[in-house]
A and B are shown apart, each in its own frame.
Chain A
């Protein structure tokens, strides 16, 4: 009877015990470095590098430590609801307003300081005052000139359902960025027309369902799709990544005030259950302060700061020259109507 020289079982058991002990130790020793000024936990669905720059500046300015978690904002929303009894998040920072609206409707957000809310034009904030707009993004057409000329592009969002674009159109129905457009179309033209419009663009997209805007930007740029609907910053981020030489796509806008030309808001709110209310309020105030807005303007996330005294460094259409549809933030809501329409059309 030969035996092994490798005592496999013993090694496994020891490894399991040591590993668990090790992870326990790192867990206990890792996070308790609370500075004298306190610390907060930030759940961020926003661009990581921009958030990191904001956090670093805030820590230097106030001495308050910020622990950041990154995930999709919609997963965070589920998480915050599930962990409602023992909340970890003090501040929730998102790329779109529906996730914040959803938590606000559940009564999980605390009212923000009036002085903070006053910094941003009120049309970009929650009407209830539970979350605040931080930056803006706008929907655009990204197109590949070798496949479709600028003159052939649709000028109205309704034309996206036109059969002439069959097999040319790329859009991501599951993206939170697409919902505001659906909401806006339904708001302008009514439910029935919005539904037949969705069925039309579904037919145009064919069997290719795009998972996200990154994929649309990439495929249009590579010539795999002729044109698509995305937010403006995807194109600029792609340019920063690939360099101007590798850009084979361009940006175009819908006609001024068209329902497809939607301004969408990235915002932040303080959790009602936060035990660090003062520090959390401070952080949101910092996001809309001149310093915070400057960081956003000069970062590589290419969003529009909402402080009109701050200009982006990117070669984007200036914020003041954008002519989006006049739909308001409350009208955009929590996106549930858009989701139900997308479901009826068989897109979700």
Chain B
């Protein structure tokens, strides 16, 4: 995208340079200290995090060596491979595009307009992320058998992952600088053009970050596609792993996913360009004026209601239906409570851990931009393109080979695994929020005599808080329904909601499985609600039409 009015005009849409061409900042981006040396500690911690995250890749390389090139080539050179690649690519493109539109549109409605019941929508819109694939797919399949193959996969995946775009975009819009929009409107840009050229550009980093998560996640998705009978590269990898018990071959094929992941990352980099979407005018939150929807209120509400009905109504409805019709056995309340407690404990710890891990990497990426450091940060996203089975097996392998198997199948290892698997989700939230906190503010506070910690606490924290909360929430919701890695690493004798649900569903005991599905959905409503509350307590939230 080109800047709003070209160089030398009064307004520039580059959020890093809202006043355009100011004399003491010729580049408009000098505050980013391109190439400035980051603190050694920050660099070391980030490098360590990245190393941990790339462990599965090392495992794949080690294992794939055992397959032999000719075997791998013969596997790739089969009638099915072209079809699998085509299936994987077209699904990724279509679902990512749909999620971008739906997620961004919904975030704008909730954050930037006077839509009625905003807090209610803010909670409802993120819950679909926490519904297990099986529940969604089965719910749709029981409504209509047409929901299968490509169209079915597009429908089901879009409805379950659009929150990955919605959450970071909402956090970013909530924090964006309203002055830009005002200036644009005052200069006579229409509402639509203002949205397109100003609002969307402010949220661009978040939109692209969300799309990156969606696209990479689709590469590694397995459960939903298996149920929908849609074959992708990953379903094939699972077949190699589990039907043929062929770890070396499956690992070699997984490396193809890594290549696809790299392509996705390159695409996102190209689209993002050099935009960082940071505000530099000031640090204090000012009320973002809300657009008055007027007679658009009803259509907007109808659209969100339709989205909620499709994404939530169908799966919840089918779970309730099984609960009512299942006749095999009464379920026991104590196992339900126990599974809920363990699920919340593991997912909550993992979400906190991932967010803390993402902080140094996010700060490094945004504040100390440089080719090598960017590479360091981007490498972390690759973990998302690896199926859960690969990650669990790789941690098993490292624990067995280098740690005497000490941590294997213990709760801390499961928590660390979740944190690794969903680290990129946390990183996107953290990135978006660090981008909103220009270091200039900290320098000013510093020069006014505040100590380093005090600056962090009083200046940086309020600015980055929404993004951190979004990061926590994303990881928590995703960890709740994780199944493949959980089955391998959960402590013996412990059940989570997802594993117990799987046990019953495997045995066609849908009536017993249903309460576990409903509880998974229910416990995600809690962080979603907290998130909504949290945003509402931000300073300067007095909403009003412009």
Contacts and interface: CB of A to CB of B under 8 A. Distances in A.
Interface of A: 1-9, 12-13, 15-16, 18-20, 22-24, 26-27, 30-31, 41, 47-49, 67-72, 74-75, 77-79, 81-86, 88, 99, 102, 174, 176, 179, 207-212, 214-215, 217-219, 222, 224, 234, 237-238, 240-243, 246, 300-301, 335-336, 339, 343-344, 346, 348
B405 A20 contact: no
B85 interface: no
A205 to B, nearest CB: 9
B351 to A, nearest CB: 8
B232 to A, nearest CB: 11
Contacts of A1: 283-284, 458-459, 462
Nearest to A65: B493
Contacts of B355: 12, 16
A344 B75 CA distance: 10
B410 interface: yes
Given A71-B488, A82-B393, A237 B507 contact: yes
A86 B230 CA distance: 37
Given A1-B459, A12-B468, 11 more contacts: A3-B461, A9-B465, A12-B472, A19-B353, A23-B349, A27-B411, A48-B503, A81-B245, A174-B226, A246-B325, A346-B80
8 contacts: A3-B462, A24-B412, A26-B411, A48-B504, A68-B493, A77-B242, A83-B408, A348-B80
A16 B468 contact: no
B401 interface: yes
B142 A222 contact: yes
Contact of A82 (B397, B457, B503): B397
Contacts of B540: 2
Interface of B: 78-80, 83, 141-142, 145, 148-149, 226-231, 236, 239, 241-245, 247, 283-285, 325-329, 345-346, 348-350, 352-353, 355-356, 389, 393, 396-397, 400-401, 404-405, 408-412, 414-415, 457-459, 461-462, 464-465, 468-469, 472, 484, 487-488, 491-494, 499, 503-511, 534, 537-540
A16 B410 contact: no
A23 B389 contact: no
A70 B496 CA distance: 12
B349 to A, nearest CB: 3
A237 B505 CA distance: 11
Nearest to A23: B411
B289 to A, nearest CB: 19
B227 A12 contact: no
Given A85-B401, A99-B245, A241-B509, A78 B393 contact: yes
A23 B230 CA distance: 37
A2 B285 contact: yes
A6 B465 contact: yes
Given A8-B465, A24-B412, A79 B327 contact: no
B229 A241 contact: no
Contact of B149 (A7, A69, A84, A208): A208
* Chain B interface, DSSP helix/strand/loop, else mixed: helix
Nearest to B460: A9
B537 A8 contact: no
5 closest cross-chain pairs (CB), A and B: A19-B349, A86-B405, A23-B411, A74-B242, A16-B352
Contacts of B245: 74, 77-78, 81, 99, 102
A3 B349 CA distance: 25
A19 B469 contact: no
A240 to B, nearest CB: 6
B494 A30 contact: yes
Contacts of A300: 328, 507
B444 to A, nearest CB: 10
Contacts of B285: 2
A67 to B, nearest CB: 4
Contact of A67 (B145, B231, B327, B493): B493
A2 B415 contact: no
A19 B462 contact: no
A100 to B, nearest CB: 11
A208 B150 CA distance: 10
Nearest to B499: A70
Given A19-B349, A78-B393, A174-B239, A214 B492 contact: no
A67 B493 CA distance: 6
Contacts of B83: 346
A346 B78 CA distance: 8
- Tell me which of A22, A27, A31, A74 has the highest count of chain B C-beta atoms within 10 A of its own C-beta: A27
A4 B465 contact: yes
Contact of A2 (B346, B350, B396, B462): B462
A224 B229 contact: no
A78 B415 contact: no
Nearest to A74: B242
A12 B356 contact: yes
B506 A16 contact: no
B327 A241 contact: yes
Contact of A241 (B349, B493, B508): B508
B78 A176 contact: no
Given A83-B400, A346-B80, A67 B492 contact: yes
- Tell me which of A3, A16, A18 has the highest count of chain B C-beta atoms within 10 A of its own C-beta: A16
Nearest to B242: A74
A237 B245 CA distance: 28
B458 A88 contact: no
A41 B492 contact: yes
B346 A23 contact: yes
- Tell me which of B79, B230, B245, B538 has the highest count of chain A C-beta atoms within 10 A of its own C-beta: B245
Given A67-B493, A85-B401, A8 B327 contact: no
B239 to A, nearest CB: 5
Given A19-B349, A20-B412, A176-B243, A79 B492 contact: no
Contact of A85 (B236, B405, B468, B534): B405
Contacts of B469: 8
